[in-house]
């Protein structure tokens, strides 16, 4: 088993198909299919259920997928530890689709001001998907709207407060 096989597996699981996964991984589909087949043989499990309407990740595949994400994230941290400069991988953000677009644009604008060289990717999902994907490492951060803060969560600042914040390099730099 190698990291390339795990990357291909995660790409297919995230994309929902082998062809879209191959595009995400920047390889030809036969190369990706062969690598995943070898991974399935080595693990002695079926990672995907293949059907006429595409693929779905099996229950065993979901267990492996969570661990694969952790392993890939840790390998990126290991690479970053060996370099003098931190990894410039985009920060992956999950957003609740009901958030006001003006608020999201304002926050992203302030983050870009904070570090113009940092990339940011966003994806909309339901609250349960956001929490699950944050826990498995698919997202580095999630933005949700809470009427009342849950235990362990911070209340987001108001727009007025956000505009006044002297956002310097207060964001903790990690290569997660």
Same domain? For 59 and 101 the reply is: no
Average pLDDT over residues 116-139: 85
Q: Which of 67, 90, 87 is nearest to 78 (CA)?
A: 87
Same domain? For 68 and 107 the reply is: no
Would you say residue 25 lies in a domain?
A: yes
Please state the domain count of the chain.
2
Would you say residue 173 lies in a domain?
A: no
Would you say residue 170 lies in a domain?
A: no
Query: Which runs of consecutive H residues, i.e. helices, occur in 16-58?
Result: 18-25, 29-43
Residues 6+ apart with CB under 8 A from 30: none
Q: Which residue has the tokens 């113009």?
A: 116
Average pLDDT over residues 90-110: 83
pLDDT at 170 over 50: no
Would you say residue 146 lies in a domain?
A: yes
pLDDT above 90 as % of the chain: 28
- pLDDT tens sequence across 37-66: 999 999 999 999 988 888 999 999 999 998
Enclosing domain of residue 148: 91-164
Q: What is the largest CA-CA distance in the chain?
A: 56
| CA gap 109, 114 in Å, rounded | 9
**Between 85 and 88, residue with greater pLDDT:** 88
Would you say residue 174 lies in a domain?
A: no
Would you say the pTM of this structure is higher than 0.95?
no
């Amino acid at each position: 088993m190698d990291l390339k096989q795990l990357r291909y597996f995660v790409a297919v699981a995230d994309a929902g198909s082998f062809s879209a996964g191959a595009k995400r991984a920047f390889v030809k589909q036969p190369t990706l299919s062969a690598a995943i087949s070898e991974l399935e043989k080595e693990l002695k499990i079926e990672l995907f259920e293949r059907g006429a309407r595409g693929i779905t990740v099996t229950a065993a595949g979901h267990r492996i997928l969570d661990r694969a994400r952790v392993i890939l994230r840790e390998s990126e941290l290991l690479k970053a530890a060996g370099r003098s400069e931190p990894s410039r991988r985009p920060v992956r953000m999950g957003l609740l689709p009901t958030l006001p677009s003006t608020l999201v644009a304002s926050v992203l604008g302030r983050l870009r001001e904070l570090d113009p060289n940092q990339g940011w990717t966003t994806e909309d999902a339901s609250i349960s998907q956001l929490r699950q994907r944050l826990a498995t490492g698919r997202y580095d951060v999630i933005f949700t709207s809470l009427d009342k803060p849950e235990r362990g969560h911070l209340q987001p600042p108001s727009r007025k407060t956000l505009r006044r914040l002297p956002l310097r390099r207060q964001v903790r730099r990690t290569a997660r």
